Amino acid sequence: MNAEEFRKAAHAAIEEIIDYYDTIQNRRVVSNVEPGYLRKLLPSSPPEEGEQWADIQKDIEAKIMPGLTHWQSPNFMAFFPANATYPSMLGELYSAAFTAPSFNWICSPAVTELETVVLDWLAQTLHLPNCFLSEGEGGGVIQGSASEATATVVVAARERYLTTACEGLEGKGREDRRDQTMSRLVVLGSDQSHSSLAKAALIAGVRYKSIPCSSENDLALTGANVQAALEQCKCEDLEPFFLLTTLGTTSTCAVDRFDEITTVIRETRSPGTIWIHVDAAYAGAALVCDEYAHIAKDFVAVDSFDMNMHKWLLTNFDASCLFVRNRKDLTSALSVTPSYLRNPFSDTGLVTDYRDWQIPLGRRFRALKIWFVLRTYGVNGLKAHIRRHITLGEKFANWIRGREDLFRIIAPPAFALTVLTVANPKLIDWGLLNEHTETKVSEGLATSDIMPHTSTTELDHTNSLTKSVYERINASGKVFLTSSVVNGVYAIRVVSANEKADEEHLRKAFEILVRTTEDIVGQAYK
């Protein structure tokens, strides 16, 4: 493809992308193709001769679109969103054009320096404590995903712990101490932590222990839970070196009690023994708003914090922003420098080589899209974006509350996420849903804990009603929701944080929920 052909092809592609966005809400939101559909549509080997762009482009609509689930559709209310925006796409376009895998500063100083600047901007915008800024000992780095960020800090924490444990030893003595300590190392998280923590422990070759969260505390990890887990580890001769806390858990958007947890760690462990990480993959975006800034104050006592701009902050996948209090913790653990990676600039120690802050060597120019987004929206634009979704979430939750005959909210609407179940009319008929229970439900507690008279069979029945509603709605392709099991209760999650979602889309989702539930419950009890 020469320059003139590229100009024509790129214009045609941009036109198609704009049309796609303009009409996306008319498409079936979740793909309904059968597994293996694409192989049947494509030749079994690549073409011998090159093809024209016009012919290639036609296959986007004909062959790829049927197999796409439209994450950018306003009817996509599943998982957490993956917001994409035009300024961010422009960042991707330039990044692809420059293609400069800038693992060392000298590979493209602009790539490294822009990353440092925009992550400092972002830290300020998120109201993070100054210890995470690059002007001190901390700093930020863009990772591919929150899972990658967790794996990276688990490895850094392991190395920091082992270095201290082996201090003063050399040779075989050092190796033996390292091996003995490794076999006792354990990563701690809560039973609501994202599964990427268990994977990080697997990658780092250490044990993983999850701490139970009680629904009395809205499924948040508390200081008391952590204290109990530390005591248990002591009894089992395990050495905890890493604790993952969460701002906005995946199932219910619970917020762990950072203040209590950091106090417990500070009071029971010597400084630096347990690395505390905050996984704020989705809800961290809300910290741009002044009304959430108080949460970030507690991060003054944690080692690292990660949030995905690629979830709720208008930036295309991938842009997971990891901040560390002490960048030396990363570089000491991850710096491996063969001769071919050495250069005079790195040797001075005056430049940042981001290869030492991450697992891979090569890296993309991802700072560009973050820069474009921050400049296009401005901090006020980001705040307005988050607040609009939170307001939509509250409206949606109020509509659900207005149909007590059909639904129960089992976790308080938080960060534009509402978690609900179908109300089992049998339980209502039997008077099991008494006043006490209703109050507790509205406070967001799980039904399994607050329906003392509810037998397993009744709970199973409620679960199966909710599951039927969920499955029928998703099969319709009109909206896409996700489910979760919270303390044994099958629940439907509705996220009102899609960039293109407005009140009309949430209202439509609510009406579909009502119609489907009336139908399924009606059939079950006729």
Footprint of ligand PLP (CB under 6 A): 80, 145-147, 194, 196, 246, 248-250, 279, 281-282, 308, 320
Displacement of CA 47 from its chain's centroid (Å):
39
331 contact partners, CB below 8 Å, separation of at least 6: 356, 357
With a CB cutoff of 8 Å and minimum separation 6, the contacts of 47 are: none
CB of 306 to ligand PLP, least distance (A): 8
Q: Which is nearer to ligand PLP, 248 or 413 (CB)?
A: 248
Q: CB-wise, 147 or 424, nearer to ligand PLP? A: 147
Name residue 482's beta-bridge partners: 493
Q: Which residue has the tokens 């030492």?
A: 356
Handedness of CA 20, 24, 30, 33 (dihedral sign): negative
Shorter beta-carbon distance to ligand PLP: residue 406 or 495: 495
Closest contact distance (angstroms) between CB of 220 and ligand PLP is 13
- Please answer whether residues 365 and 94 qualify as being in contact, where contact means their C-beta atoms are separated by less than 8 angstroms: yes
CB of 248 to ligand PLP, least distance (A): 6
In angstroms, the CA 170 to CA 160 distance is 17
Is residue 229 a contact partner of residue 256, using CB atoms and an 8 Å limit? no
Return the number of the residue (105 or 415) whose C-beta is nearest ligand PLP: 415
Question: For residue 34, what is the DSSP state?
Answer: P
Instruction: Give 80 or 357: the residue with its C-beta nearer to ligand PLP.
Output: 80
- In the complex, the smallest distance separating the C-beta of residue 284 from ligand PLP, rounded to whole angstroms, is 9
SS (H, E, C) 333-383: HHCCCCHHHCCHHHHHCCCCCHHHHCCCCCCCCCHHHHHHHHHHHHHHHHH
Residue whose token pair is 């079994």: 44
Beta carbon nearer to ligand PLP, 279 or 329: 279
Exposed e or buried b per residue across 500-513, where buried means at least 16 C-beta atoms within 10 angstroms of its C-beta: bbeeebbebbbebb
Smallest distance from ligand PLP to CB 150, Å: 7
State in angstroms the smallest separation of the CB of 223 from ligand PLP. 20
| Shortest spacing between CB 61 and ligand PLP, in angstroms | 28
Q: What's the min distance (Å) between Cβ of 282 and ligand PLP?
A: 5
Helix (H) or strand (E) holding 245: strand 239-246
Q: Which is nearer to ligand PLP, 147 or 421 (CB)?
A: 147
275 vs 510, beta carbon nearer ligand PLP? 275
